[in-house]
Amino acid sequence: MNPKQLKRIKKNLKQKNNKPNYIQRMNSYRELFSEFPQIIFLVNHVLESDRLLSRGLLPQPLPLLELPENIQDTIFESVTQQYPIGDPQGDQLWDKYSRELPKLDQLLRSYRDYLEEHYGMWCYISAPFVDKLANYIDGKPVLEVMAGNGYISKGLRDKGQTVIATDSLDWTKENETGRNLVTEIERLDAIKAIKKYGNQVAFVIMSWSPDGLSIDQDILKNIRDTNPGIKLICIGERNGATNSAEFWQMAQYVDENEAETLNKYHQPFDLIQDQVYIIK
């Protein structure tokens, strides 16, 4: 994790929400829109995800956190079935729904912002994804660089995998979530970690490398110099919100069928279309 990465993500995501406010508001919207299963489906996924993370567990995958395009029509039809058109009670209820619906939409879209602020989870890591990742790794030793709070490493360790988790931890000076590492992480920057452990591992994991910075290129070059047999498991948005353009040009993609399988369990839930790539 890198301080510039924090600034980049904070610049592009929506206004921060504090934890009690965010979850309380979600609960209030679950009550307000209790008659609409399309909305409850999304809200319940968010609340369950938060519940698991708050207990130190990896969450389940999320659906796309966007309200259906026809949700206003659905709500209007429901109101008119309960009240005749022009009825003051019906008008009042419709006005309340109409006023709160955009706020709920914004809240759903800002869930990644909430995750980053309260859990230090930049890349959304679910339990089923880690399970499939562990199957792919199959007991071979792994080095994670720029591990952040360590969600991937913890998940793999819980599956019995041998993982060396490393991070410079410089970013923790700027972000208080760094005080809540979820697993043991060795304080090493990515290049030093590769030089120290590159000959001992079969895989390197790198998730959400900051866009526009050359650190990902340096990581790939050092992997190739240190141990060309290593496979780099990269999680990011190709030519998008993560990594440098030059890195994607340098990448040689391997095990594409395996990557496709992993991506069935790592689905985007917002506008950032990050995926898993296996690179040499």
With respect to residue 254, please indicate whether it lies within any of the assigned structural domains: yes
| End position of a domain, from candidates 54, 76, 109 | 109
Q: What is the pLDDT of residue 13?
A: 46
* 259-265 mean pLDDT: 97
90 vs 74, 95, 97, 100, CA distance in Å? 15, 8, 11, 16
CATH number, position 273? 3.40.50.150
Q: Are residues 28 and 134 in the same domain?
A: no
Q: What is the mean pLDDT of residues 187-200?
A: 97
In one-letter notation, the amino acid at residue 257 is N
Q: What is the pLDDT at residue 173?
A: 65
Give tens-digit pLDDT for 15-30.
Answer: 444 444 999 999 999 9
Cα 65 to Cα 168: distance, rounded to the nearest angstrom? 32
Is there a single domain that holds both residue 186 and residue 217? yes
Predicted local confidence at residue 170, as pLDDT:
82
Residues 166, 272, single domain; the answer is yes
Number of domains composing the chain: 2
pLDDT value at 134 more than 70:
yes
**pLDDT at residue 63 is higher than 90:** yes
Share of the chain above pLDDT 90, in %: 85
Does one domain contain both 97 and 131? no
The answer to whether residue 242 scores a pLDDT higher than 80 is yes
Of 19-28, 59-68, 235-244, 269-278, give the lowest mean pLDDT range: 19-28
* Distance from the Cα of residue 44 to its chain's centroid: 18
Residue 243 Cα to chain centre, angstroms: 15
The span from the CA of 162 to the CA of 142, in Å, is 6
How far is the C-alpha of 245 from the C-alpha of 166, rounded, in Å? 24
* Averaged pLDDT for residues 261-267: 97
State whether 264 and 190 are in the same domain: yes
Q: Has residue 122 been placed in a domain?
A: no
**Average pLDDT along the chain:** 91
Q: Read off the pLDDT of each residue in 254-262 and give the average, rounded to a whole number.
A: 97
Do 139 and 265 fall within a single domain? yes
Question: Is residue 243 located within the same domain as residue 174?
Answer: yes
Q: What is the mean pLDDT of residues 163-181?
A: 79
pLDDT in tens, 194-237: 999 999 999 999 999 999 899 999 999 999 999 999 999 999 99
Q: How far apart are CA 209 and CA 215, in angstroms?
A: 8
- Is 235 in the same domain as 103? no
DSSP SS3 for 154:
helix
| Token digits of residue 48 | 């369950």
CA distance 244 to 242: 7
pLDDT confidence of 48, banded at 50, 70, 90? very high
**pLDDT(5) > 80:** no
**Is the pLDDT score of 106 beyond 50?**
yes
Please compute the mean of the pLDDT values over residues 54-81 and round it to a whole number: 96
Range of 46's domain? 18-109
Whole-prediction pTM value?
0.88
Domain boundary, last residue among 80, 109, 138: 109
Residue 9 has pLDDT above 90, yes or no: no
Are residues 133 and 81 part of one domain? no
Whether 175 shows a pLDDT value over 80: the answer reads no
The pLDDT of residue 177 is above 80? no
* Residue at a domain's end among 79, 109, 139: 109
Do 132 and 97 lie in a common domain? no
pLDDT at 4 over 50: no
What does the chain come to in residues?
280
**Same-domain status, 251 and 152:** yes
What pLDDT does 169 receive?
Answer: 87
